[in-house]
Amino acid sequence: PVLVEGNAIKLHPLVCGGFNADFDGDQMAVHLPLSIEAQAEAHVLMLSTNNVFSPANGSPIINASQDIVMGVYFITTTLLDPKAVDEKDIPRFKDRHEAILAFDSKKIGIHDLISVRLTGFDKLVSKERGPIEAMPENGRLITTVGRIMFSEILGDGMPFYNCAIGKKGCARVIDDTYEYCDRAATINLLDDLKSIGFKNATLAGLSFGITDLRIPEEKVALLDEAQKKVNRVEKNFDRGIITERERYNQLLDIWSHCREELTVVLIETLKNDRRHDDGSYASITEKEGNAFLNPVYLMSDSGARGNVSQMQQLAGMRGLMAKPSGEIIETPIRANFREGLHILEYFSSTHGARKGLADTALKTADSGYLTRKLCDVAQSIIVSEHDCGSRRGIMKRAIYKGEQIDVPLSDQIFGRVAVNPVLDPKSGEKIVEANEMISDEAAKNIEEIGIDAVLVRSPLTSESPTGCSVLDYGMDMSTGKLVEEGMAVGIIGAQSIGEPGTQLTMRTFHSGGIGTRAVVDTEYRALNNGTVEIRDCNEVAVKDEDGNDCFVTLKRNGELAILDPDGKELEKTKIPYGGFIYC
């Protein structure tokens, strides 16, 4: 233990996330381990440096947040797009020292693009979440001084990050350090990340005024267009063409759509903000004035504080509000907080704000109760042996949302143990042996080859008399290796589900009770070829509005299945009640 002056406990900023601590008067208990066993356990198992990665999902628990992220993003961001700039107009430097010297003597700014030859790096990352590429042969890159300064805290063998690094970028840098260097290097990097983040957040002196909440010029036109659509719907309702419910749903859709469009425009406006020398707004489309790094956009985009929804309420429009019953009020709040709310708009927004406060107080207890119930159910599940000999498993596939892949196959099978050998369908070579853990590399390889499903072992199909076996469970996410025997995986699972639950109850409080509507997919794309079979639809032949022959479904549990030549079901989807089927 380190003795400090005064009565306050001092805490390293990076472990605040793990303790869920902040500096508004939190209190903590301090325990003194007395016996040798307790001291050993505290050192080996409980010390923060041995718990860098979360056992729930393997992401770093000890990660930069707020000021640190803001400082790191500030030095690694750039005002201009490197692709849009001619290389002849950029200052060229022999090496990193020359570039830093030019910056120190105020010849170039921290965000200015420069061309520099870098030594000591053989890998390159040009997007925050992008793949690792090879460095150009001559080592010359278009980058910024800030990114060169950031690269100086990286260990040997690390790639050069030629992109703006926000919160997710910091987590990636920590992951990469653990992969390419070792644990000691990761812990050193965490401390350096803290120092460089705080230092540059201080030097940046970021603050924002009301003018930084720049309202998009297109707002008026978007609102007018939405109002015209609303008038059309009201007219249809007055004529009796649509029912009250249809009118209500259409109004909500129109305003939700309007808000989505305004959000896109707002983010573009803040991202490409331009100002004249006196600080007044310059036209973004005409490229007048100078490029301006908007601090509100910087804080939100980096992940330091604030999100798109909050920016939208400050400079876009507040949009639809929810009543305490959960029903959405059909007249939206068109103003934002910068313009100020109309008296009626203010009244309807008080609904949602009060509901947020009440929910936060009530639901926190419910979510704690959920964690307790989960622990009660799962506490007996302990890893009891290495292999229970089970030959069963569960089939893992990519998860689709409409036509888009939501969770890729590689994420689904990474860290799991294969039941059977996984073979390359073309060459027949083994990628993964039976009962072998699927590494990150193997998972990506399996996905690229085009295998769409893998049978993996699971605690659900375990044949252990108590708990499950090491091979059923697979990887311990916090170490990246197979789980150890004796690990209480049931409790880890229960707490991994319960922990974000407490955080999620705070959501309504922060969003201020805004009504939200999901944008539902209007089509379903089949993933396989085969024969279509319509089941249990009670279909009736009719003609549609254009006079085409079709069937209408009159049952709520109708399905459409796709079968292979042997009649085996490949996939199925629900057919909604009242849907038209064209053959």
CATH of 210-317, one of 3.40.50.1370, 1.10.132.30, 3.40.50.1970, 3.40.250.10: 1.10.132.30
Contacts 24+ apart (CB under 8 A), 366-372: 366/505, 367/498, 367/501, 367/502, 367/504, 367/505, 368/498, 368/502, 370/497, 370/498, 370/501, 371/494, 371/495, 371/497, 371/498, 371/499, 371/501, 371/502
Residues of the chain by 3-state class (helix, strand, coil), percent to 5 = 40, 15, 45
| Both structure tokens of 120 | 């000591």
**What per-residue confidence (pLDDT) applies to 402?**
66
Q: Which residues pair with residue 66 across a beta bridge?
A: none
End-to-end Cα distance, the chain: 76
Listed in sequence order, the residues at least 6 apart from 362 whose beta carbon sits closer than 8 Å to its beta carbon are none
Q: Which residues pair with residue 407 across a beta bridge?
A: 399
| Both structure tokens of 160 | 């050069």
Task: Work out whether strand 123-125 and strand 160-161 pair parallel, antiparallel, or are unpaired.
Answer: parallel
| Both structure tokens of 537 | 């639809």
Q: How far is CA 169 from CA 142, 179, 200, in A?
A: 19, 15, 17
For residues 365-373, average pLDDT:
83
**What per-residue confidence (pLDDT) applies to 510?**
47
Confidence of residue 450 (pLDDT cuts 50, 70, 90): confident
**CA 275 to CA 269: how far, in whole Å?**
12
Range with lowest mean pLDDT among 208-217, 286-295, 350-359, 443-452: 350-359
Confidence of residue 505 (pLDDT cuts 50, 70, 90): low
At position 490, the amino acid (one-letter code) is: G
| Both structure tokens of 248 | 């209500």
Range with lowest mean pLDDT among 123-132, 191-200, 497-506, 543-552: 497-506
Q: How many CA atoms lie within 13 A of 255 on its CB side?
A: 23
C-alpha triplet 237, 242, 247: angle, nearest 5° = 65
- Please say whether the beta carbons of 273 and 297 come within 8 A: yes
List pLDDT tens digits, range 455-476.
Answer: 999 999 999 988 899 999 999 9
Question: In this structure, what is the dihedral angle of CA atoms 341, 345, 351, 357, given to the nearest 10 degrees?
Answer: -10
Quickly count: other Cβ atoms within 10 Å of residue 248's Cβ.
16
- Tell me the pTM: 0.80
Whether 340 shows a pLDDT value over 80: the answer reads yes
**Mean pLDDT over the full length of the chain:** 87
Whether 511 shows a pLDDT value over 60: the answer reads no
Task: Work out whether strand 274-275 and strand 430-432 pair parallel, antiparallel, or are unpaired.
Answer: unpaired
- Please say whether the beta carbons of 150 and 72 come within 8 A: yes
For residues 375-404, average pLDDT:
88
> Of how many residues is the chain composed?
583
Q: How far is CA 391 from CA 282, 434, 483, in A?
A: 67, 10, 19
* Burial degree of 454 (CB within 10 A; 0-12, 13-18, 19+): buried
How is the chain split into domains, by residue range?
210-317, 383-487, 531-581
